[in-house]
Amino acid sequence: MFKSHIKLSVLHELSRKSLSGYDLIKSLSEDGTKPSPGYIYPLLNDLEAKKFISVKQYDRRKVYSLTAKGKKLLNDLRKHRESMVSNMTRLWAPIADKEELSDFVRMKKYMHKGTMDRDLLFKFHKTLFTVYRKEDPARRKRVRSIIEDSIKRMEQCK
């Protein structure tokens, strides 16, 4: 998974409520992210150093909260999400049917609820964009065929 995506997930969780590092790991694990303590605590230190989160000590427990700067960043990212989806939809338009495009736009809501395997989707997106960098109609036709075949196979799992 992309490091920045985990940071975004942390900011999103902390926008809901203040959490300890342990509770944050537990909360992120519920949607499939599952960062290790050796990963999450340096990440929290980095976010704190950048003033996106603050920390309060309660006995031996540290509780992390989103700062005003973190809230602004999260709100800015949410505002730009629609632009990103629009750009991705435009990029996919040459290979996707109208129904596929509307499904793609709806898919984003499920990613935040943990109902999809985000690691796999990010790997898919990265691979797809790598293939599409070159304007090669034969390559695009092959990719479309692979995607259509995959869809048929997934529909058999219903």
The string of pLDDT tens digits covering residues 27-38 is: 887 766 678 899
**Residues 110, 45 within the same domain:** no
What confidence tens digit (pLDDT) does each residue in 56-104 have?
Answer: 999 999 999 999 999 999 888 877 876 777 777 777 777 777 677 666 6
Q: What is the pTM of this model?
A: 0.57
- Please tell me whether residues 56 and 88 are part of one structural domain: no
Identify whether 100 is part of a domain. Answer: yes
Structure confidence at residue 102 (pLDDT): 67
For residues 37 and 93, membership in a common domain is answered with no
Q: Which domain holds residue 149?
A: 81-155
Integer Cα distance of 150 and 120 in angstroms: 14
pLDDT tens-digit map of 113-129: 444 555 566 667 767 77
Asked which of 14, 35, 69 is the last residue of a domain, the reply is 69
